Amino acid sequence: MIPVQGYKGATVAVLGLGRSGLAAARALRDGGAQALCWDDNPAAREAAEAEGFECVDLLRQSAFEDVAALIVSPGIPHLYPAPNPVVAAAMDAGVPVDNDIGLFFQSFATQAWDNFDVMPKVVAVTGSNGKSTTSALIHHVLEAAGRSAQLAGNIGRGVLDIDPAVDGDVVVLELSSYQTDLARAMTPDIAVFTNLSPDHLDRHAGMGGYFAAKRRLFAEGGPDRAVVGVDEVEGRYLAGQLTQNRADDRVIRVSVDRKLTGPGWHVFARKGFLSEWRKGRQIGSIDLRGIKGLPGAHNHQNACAAYAVARTLGLAPRVIEAGFASFGGLPHRSQIVGEAGGVTYVNDSKATNVDAAAKALGAFKKIRWICGGLEKEGGVGDLASAAGEVIKAYVIGREAAGFAMQLNGVEAEVCTTMQQAVARAAQEARAGETVLLAPAAASFDQYDSFEKRGEDFVAQVLRVLS
C-alpha cells in the first residue's frame, strides 16, 4: 500500500468503489485522511462500510463544504460526453478533482529514498493498442534480469496497492486515456507512447481530445526519457514536440513501418528483425521471428518499445533477448489456446477496435476469423483491406447480421453465439489454418468484459478439442 501524502487530517471524497476507488480510500486512510465514499451500487457501498468507511451521498446539499478533494474512478466521466453529477457538483463547489494516478505520483517518493543507492524509477505506458503487452513485457524482462520490478495500473495491481519502493525498484504502469486525462500529477521517469487509433471517442469528444489525453503524460510529466511510436502522425508530432534537435536522444523513436535514420536514438523492426541505432550506427539487434509470445508486427512494435525502455534502464541487448524468449504472452492477446489436427486456435479478445483487429489479422496466415460485438464509432468497413488472409468470418453478437454486411469481400456466416462460431470454425478448418478470435468490437452486448469473452472462446475451444 502507498499511503497518500498531502491530505493528513483532511476529508477527501471518493466516487466509485471498484478496485481503484476502494484502494484509494484505503491509501488515503493510511495517509491520515478521512475518506468519504460513494458509489451508486449498494453492494459496493456495503463492501466499503464493512471496512469501516463512511458512505455519504455526495449529491446531498453541502456535501462538499469541508472536502479537500474528490477522487474519481476511471470509468466515471468528468467532462465528456457530460460530467457525472457528483463531479459537476464538486467543480461547482471549487473542489479539486483527481484520480488514483494523481495520488500515486504525489505520494510514491518518500524520505526513505534518501538511503537508497539506486533511486526507484517509474515507467508509464500509454497508447491505443499494445499497452498491456508492452507493460507486461517490460516487467518480465526486468524480473528475468534479476531487477526488482512491480506491475500496476490498468494491468496487475492498482497503483496505490503496490508495495513501497525498495532500493533500485522499477514500477511499470499501464495507463489508459481515462487515467491520464484527469490525473493532476504525472511524473514518470520514462514515458511510452505505443500508437494511436480511434477509440473512446465519445469520452474524449473526438480524436483530438483522445490524443490530448494521451499527450498529457508527456506534456505534464516531463519524463527524463520518452519512447514514442512514430508510425502514426500523432506519434511523429509528439516526438517532434519533445525533441530539441535531431540528435536529442531523450526521445527514442520506435517503428515497425520503416527503417529509422538520423543521428538520434531509434529502435525499429523490419521483417521480424529488431534493430537499435544510435548516432547513425547500429548497436544492437534481435531476431523476433521465433519468439512465440510475440507473434506479428503489432507485437514486434511492443517489443521495440519494451527494448527501448530496458536499454534506458541499463540492460544489455542479449539480456533483453533472453527475457523476450521466455515471455509467454498475455491472456486474450494473441494467446495460443490450443492446437489440433494442424489447426491453431488463438484468443485475441483484447482486439476491441478496428486497428487492433487489423494487426491481429496481419499476424497469422489462413485465418478463420471469429469477430463481432458492440460496434464502436466508425464501423468496421475499413477492415476489408486487412482481411486478405481470411478464409471465412464467423460473426457473433446481437447485431451479427449488420456486422457481417460490412465485411465487404469476406465470406461471412452469422453465428451470433461464441459456441456456434467456434463449433462451425472448428468443423470447417483444415491443417495449416488458424481459428482467430479478434472481435474488432466491444464485448458489452453479450459479456461483462473482453476477458469474459476470451474465457468463453477458450472454453468453447477446449470443448471442441476434447
Binding-site residue set for ATP: 127-133
Let me know the angle formed at the C-alpha of 99 by 98 and 103, rounded to the nearest 5 degrees: 90
CB 392 within 8 A of CB 428: yes
Q: Fill in the DSSP letter of residue 163.
A: P
In what helix (H) or strand (E) does residue 137 lie, and over which residues does it extend?
A: helix 131-144
Q: Which three cell numbers stand for residue 41?
A: 451500487
Q: Which three cell numbers stand for residue 1?
A: 500500500
Q: Which three cell numbers stand for residue 393?
A: 468470418
b/e per residue, 302-333, with b = 16+ CB within 10 A?
bbbbbbbbbbbbebebebbbebbeebebbebb
The closest alpha carbon to 147, from 124, 171, 163, belongs to 171
In what helix (H) or strand (E) does residue 70 lie, and over which residues does it extend?
A: strand 67-72
Helices 296-312 and 354-361: crossing angle, nearest 10°?
Answer: 100
The residue type at 30: D
Q: Which are the contacts of 364, defined by CB distance < 8 A and separation ≥ 6?
A: 295, 296, 344, 346, 389, 434, 436
Rounded to 10 degrees, the C-alpha dihedral 252/255/259/263 comes to -10
Unique residue bearing C-alpha cell 472536502: 67
Unique residue bearing C-alpha cell 499497452: 131
Q: What is the CB neighbour count within 10 angstroms for residue 42?
A: 9
In what helix (H) or strand (E) does residue 343 lie, and over which residues does it extend?
A: strand 343-347
Unique residue bearing C-alpha cell 487489423: 358
Counting every residue written for the chain, the total comes to 466
Return the beta strands (E) in 107-189 as ranges: 121-126, 149-153, 170-174
Q: Residue ranges for the binding site? A: 127-133
b/e per residue, 278-296, with b = 16+ CB within 10 A?
beeeeebebebeebebbbb
The closest alpha carbon to 355, from 183, 191, 131, 190, belongs to 131
Can you tell me the distance from the alpha carbon of 232 to that of 236, in angstroms, rounded to the nearest whole number?
A: 7
Q: Which three cell numbers stand for residue 321?
A: 533477448
CB 197 within 8 A of CB 203: no
Alpha carbons within 13 angstroms on the beta-carbon side of residue 438 total 31
